[in-house]
Amino acid sequence: MDNEESSKYFWFARIPILAVLYFISSKEKKLIYFAGLLFYQLASVFFFTGNPNYFLFGTLSSVLFKVCLVLLIFTLVTVKNRTAIGLAILPFFVLYLYVIELVVDSLGDTYYIWIINALLTSFIGGVAIVYYLNDSDEKGAWLLISAILFIVQIAAFFINKFYVKNEGIYQMIILSYGISHFTFYKFLILKENELF
C-alpha cells in the first residue's frame, strides 16, 4: 500500500474512529454528536468525489453538521453573554462573507446554504471566544481551538476548491479538520465529566 492510498484510508476512517472513541469515553453518548459526525462524513465523501452534482449534497451535509455542533454548545449561551456573543460573531461572519464573495460564481445554487454555514460557524466561534474569556479553563481552551480551526478550514477549503488548487492547502485542511474534531470531542468529554 503506497502513501497516497494509506492517506485515503486514514481520511475515510478518522470520523468513524472518533465516533468509536466518543462511544467508549462518553457517559452521555449524545445522539446529536453522532449525527453530526455522520453528516460530516457524508459531506467529506460528497466533496471528495469532486463530482459537481454532489456539491449540493456535500454543502447540505456540512450545514447539518454545523447545526449539530450549534445544538451541542447552545447551552453555553446565557442571558448575560448573548450580546457579547452577538458582537463576537460579527468579525467571523464578515470574514466568511468576504471569502464567499471571492468564489460566489462557483457556488451556484449553494450560495445561500454557504451563507447559513458561515453564520453557524461564526456562531460557534463567537460562543467559543466569549466562553473562554469568561471561563478560562481547559474545557474552554479546547472549544476555542476547535472553533478557530473550523473557521480557518472553511476559508482554506474555499480557496483550495475554487481559487488556487494547492496540495499544501489541501493537507492543511485535512490536518485542521482532524485536530478541530478531536478538540471538540475533548471539549464534550470535559463538559460531561464536570456534570458527573
pLDDT digits (tens, 9 = 90+) for 121-142: 999 999 999 999 998 889 999 9
Read off the pLDDT band of 169 (50, 70, 90). confident
Amino acid found at 122 = S
Q: In terms of pLDDT, which residue wins out, 41 or 176? A: 41
According to the model, what pLDDT value does residue 196 have? Answer: 62
Among 187, 77, 191, which Cα is nearest to 141's? 187
Q: Rounded to the nearest 5 degrees, what angle is found at the Cα of 153, between the Cα atoms of 166 and 172?
A: 45
Q: Which pLDDT value is given to residue 4? A: 63
Kindly state the cell numbers that stand for 132. 473562554
For residue 3, name the pLDDT band (cuts at 50, 70, 90): low
Q: The dihedral of CA 14, 121, 126, 124: what is its sign?
A: negative
Give the mean model confidence (pLDDT) for residues 15-23. 95
Q: Which residue has the higher pLDDT, 79 or 67?
A: 67
Q: Output the average pLDDT for the chain.
A: 90
pTM of the predicted protein model: 0.90
Residue 104 has pLDDT above 90, yes or no: no
Q: What are the pLDDT digits (tens) for 30-76?
A: 999 999 999 999 998 998 888 888 999 999 999 999 999 999 999 99
Number of structural domains the chain divides into: 1
- CA 62 to mean position of chain CA atoms: 8
Closest by CA to 95, choosing from 145, 147, 152, 141, is 152
Measured CA to CA, the distance from residue 90 to residue 189 in angstroms comes to 29
In the predicted structure, residue 13 carries a pLDDT above the cut 90: no
The confidence band for 5, taking pLDDT boundaries of 50, 70 and 90, is low
The residue range of the domain holding 94 is 3-195
Q: How far apart are CA 115 and CA 7, in angstroms?
A: 31
What's the pLDDT at 2?
Answer: 61
Nine cell digits for residue 177 = 479538520
